[in-house]
């Protein structure tokens, strides 16, 4: 159940990262595109009598292209990481791309039909091919919306050229070029998503290495490096405050016998079962159970005085004796010796000296007969 939930969270995390990446790419690719439509229409106005013959239509087209170019710049990507907000922003961008494409497709068609705009025909046909190519290469993040934009730009002129009375050779070359543009779109769409997959794989590997460098392989508890770093951080914090911090160092008793009698594999299961008990019992805010190495473990207990930590340790020791940590060996019990120390800013000038105090208490517990808790102060429970 938890596994499925974690997978679901991970899956949503991957989808959100991909979406955020797509927003970022779309933003960068959208910035200048609108200017070329404005320039294209300017060409028509300069080299044909469009403005004098069709003043209102010319002005309307100019206003549409300028507004679309401004909208590209004005619609900034959302700060929110809500997938619905990001998707809505992307949909708006695609609407701008498709409206620009549709208007350009209509303008090209108009120049092909109207004798007044005849001087601009070649330029606009070349422009249509250029814009379609640019869309296929630049906006390859989404295949179908991109294909629709290509078709809106290109199809009206191509369809017209296939009509009787038009130049079939031009129609043929436009069609062949359209096939090339679609092939390029397929390739660059695949490349874009392959690149995202590759980046995601690299990110997951980096996270796995990072996790491995922080956790102990067998027990999945924090390893010694992480524990000592956290101990140092909490110790430095406690030096400046009056909040107590205590430390348990725990060693399994006669663990070698378990290995010798039941085998190393059962020994391993024993260690991970024991770690599970540590995780369950020491799960409070800021509490950190860790494996220091071999069959030695430690727990950091912020906010605990030595007697309070010793009481927690004693409860753990007694509770552990009742737990079958190896399911295949229900009668097998493990016992532990525990050393407890409370941080003392005057004596513990480093985390090492703090650990050494807890270690000394642990060795006293071993010497006094094992299966017990000893405090560094020498006090008894």
Ligand X SMILES: Nc1nc2c(ncn2[C@@H]2O[C@H](COP(=O)(O)OP(=O)(O)OP(=O)(O)O)[C@@H](O)[C@H]2O)c(=O)[nH]1
Residue nearer to ligand X on the CB measure, 88 or 214? 214
SS3 337: strand
In the complex, least distance from residue 364 CB atom to ligand X, rounded to whole angstroms: 13
In the complex, least distance from residue 218 CB atom to ligand X, rounded to whole angstroms: 6
CA 208 to chain centre: 13
Cα(284)–Cα(302) distance, rounded to whole angstroms?
Answer: 9
Region near ligand X per CB under 6 A, out of 79-87, 109-117, 194-202, 266-274: 266-274
**Among residues 218, 236, 315, 345, the one that binds ligand X under rule CB under 6 A:** 218
Cα(124)–Cα(121) distance, rounded to whole angstroms?
Answer: 5
Residue nearer to ligand X on the CB measure, 97 or 271? 271
Region near ligand X per CB under 6 A, out of 110-118, 234-242, 267-275, 325-333: 267-275
Picking from 143, 133, 139, the residue whose alpha carbon sits closest to that of residue 93 is 139
Our finding on whether 255 is near ligand X (CB under 6 A) is yes
Cα(354)–Cα(345) distance, rounded to whole angstroms?
Answer: 10
Region near ligand X per CB under 6 A, out of 126-134, 203-211, 252-260, 310-318: 252-260
Beta strand 296-302 pairing with 288-293: antiparallel
Place of tokens 């990262």: 17
Our finding on whether 252 is near ligand X (CB under 6 A) is yes
**Among residues 114, 184, 215, 259, the one that binds ligand X under rule CB under 6 A:** 259
| DSSP H or E segment with residue 297 | strand 296-302
Conformational region of residue 254, where left means phi above 0, alpha means psi within -120 to 50, and beta covers everything else: left
Beta strand 373-375 pairing with 288-293: unpaired
Cα(169)–Cα(62) distance, rounded to whole angstroms?
Answer: 32
**Among residues 187, 214, 256, 333, the one that binds ligand X under rule CB under 6 A:** 256
In a 13 Å sphere around the CA of 306, the CA atoms on its Cβ side amount to: 20
**Among residues 55, 286, 294, 319, the one that binds ligand X under rule CB under 6 A:** 294
Place of tokens 């640019």: 134
**Among residues 25, 253, 276, 314, the one that binds ligand X under rule CB under 6 A:** 253
Residue nearer to ligand X on the CB measure, 21 or 254? 254
**Among residues 7, 225, 243, 264, the one that binds ligand X under rule CB under 6 A:** 264
Other C-beta atoms lying within 10 Å of the C-beta of residue 261: 12
Cα(12)–Cα(84) distance, rounded to whole angstroms?
Answer: 13
Our finding on whether 251 is near ligand X (CB under 6 A) is yes
Q: Are 111 and 161 in contact (CB under 8 A)?
A: no
Region near ligand X per CB under 6 A, out of 45-53, 174-182, 253-261, 273-281: 253-261
In the complex, least distance from residue 247 CB atom to ligand X, rounded to whole angstroms: 19
Our finding on whether 321 is near ligand X (CB under 6 A) is no
Our finding on whether 268 is near ligand X (CB under 6 A) is yes
**Among residues 105, 267, 273, 302, the one that binds ligand X under rule CB under 6 A:** 267
In the complex, least distance from residue 182 CB atom to ligand X, rounded to whole angstroms: 59
Our finding on whether 366 is near ligand X (CB under 6 A) is yes
Residue 374 sits at φ, ψ, to 5 deg, of: -120, 140
Our finding on whether 279 is near ligand X (CB under 6 A) is no
Q: Are 299 and 248 in contact (CB under 8 A)?
A: yes
**139 secondary structure, DSSP code:** S
Residue nearer to ligand X on the CB measure, 173 or 215? 215
Total binding residues toward ligand X, as defined by CB under 6 A: 16
Our finding on whether 374 is near ligand X (CB under 6 A) is no
Residues near ligand X, by CB under 6 A: 218, 251-256, 259, 264, 267-268, 271, 294-295, 366, 370
């Amino acid at each position: 159940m938890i596994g499925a939930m974690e997978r679901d969270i991970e899956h949503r995390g991957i989808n959100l990262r991909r979406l955020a990446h797509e927003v970022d790419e779309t933003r960068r690719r959208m910035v200048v595109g609108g200017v070329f439509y404005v320039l294209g229409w300017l060409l028509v106005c300069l080299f044909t009598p469009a403005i004098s013959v069709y003043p209102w239509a010319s002005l309307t087209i100019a206003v549409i292209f300028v507004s679309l170019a401004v909208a590209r710049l004005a619609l900034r990507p959302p700060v929110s990481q809500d997938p619905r907000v990001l998707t809505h922003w992307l949909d708006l961008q695609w609407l701008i791309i498709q409206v620009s494409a549709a208007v350009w497709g209509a303008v090209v068609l108009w120049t092909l039909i109207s004798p007044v705009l005849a001087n601009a025909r070649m330029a606009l046909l070349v422009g249509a091919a250029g814009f379609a190519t640019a869309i296929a290469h630049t906006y390859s993040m989404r295949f179908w919306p991109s294909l629709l934009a290509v078709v809106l730009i290109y199809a009206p002129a191509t369809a017209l050229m296939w009509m009787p009375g038009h130049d079939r050779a031009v129609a043929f070359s436009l069609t062949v070029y359209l096939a090339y543009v679609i092939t390029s779109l397929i390739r660059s769409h695949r490349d874009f998503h392959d690149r995202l997959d590759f980046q995601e794989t690299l990110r997951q590997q980096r996270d796995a290495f990072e996790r491995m460098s922080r956790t102990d392989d067998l027990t999945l508890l924090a390893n010694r490096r992480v524990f000592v770093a956290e101990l140092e951080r909490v110790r430095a914090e406690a030096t400046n405050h009056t909040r107590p911090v205590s430390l348990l160092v725990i060693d399994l008793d006669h663990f070698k016998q378990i290995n010798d009698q039941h085998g190393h594999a059962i020994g391993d299961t024993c260690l991970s079962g024991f770690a599970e008990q540590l995780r369950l019992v020491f799960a409070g805010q800021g509490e950190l159970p860790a494996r220091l190495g071999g069959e030695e473990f430690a727990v950091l207990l912020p906010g605990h005085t030595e007697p309070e930590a010793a009481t927690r340790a004693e409860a753990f020791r007694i509770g552990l004796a009742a737990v079958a940590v190896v399911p295949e060996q229900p009668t097998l019990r493990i016992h532990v010796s525990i050393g407890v120390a409370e941080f003392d800013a005057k004596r513990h000038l480093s985390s090492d000296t703090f650990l050494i105090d807890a270690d000394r208490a642990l060795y006293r517990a071993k010497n006094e007969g094992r299966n017990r808790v000893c405090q560094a102060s020498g006090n008894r429970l």
